[in-house]
Amino acid sequence: MPTYEYKCDSCGYDFEEFQSIKEEPLSKCPKCGGKVQRLIGPGAGLIFKGSGFYLTDYKKSNTSPSTSGGNGAAKKTEPAAAAPKAEKSATNDKPKS
């Protein structure tokens, strides 16, 4: 339920009232009984409370629509296969003299 801010036209008294959205706005000042107007405020800011908000939670992907193949799935690129290396023998291949 939102908190609404009111101002009296007669005495200038500013006050806040915690009301339901469906509830009718107040019409009388609680101090002098004069006519009040509901003020339009900036609203509440976005507040993150507690743990669990990390940089990686909403990290952007590095894929672009042109590289996704049209089905929305990102293509995986695999590293190029390395050339086979010659294995060294554990024994000495030189002939004995």
Tens of pLDDT, residue by residue over 47-96, are 777 776 666 666 666 665 555 455 545 555 556 665 556 555 555 556 66
Tokens of residue 82, six digits: 């390395």
Residue whose structure tokens are 């290396």: 85
Domain assignment present for residue 61? The answer is no
Percent of the chain clearing pLDDT 90 (strictly above): 31
Report residue 29's pLDDT band, with 50, 70 and 90 as the boundaries: very high
On whether the CB atoms of residues 38 and 5 are closer than 8 A, the answer is yes
CA angle, 86 then 89 then 95, to 5°:
120
Number of domains in the chain: 1
CB 1 within 8 A of CB 8: no
Whether 30 is covered by a domain: the verdict is yes
Q: Are the C-beta atoms of residues 13 and 32 closer than 8 Å to each other? A: yes
Domain range enclosing 25: 3-39
Backbone angles phi, psi at 59, to 5 degrees: -70, 140
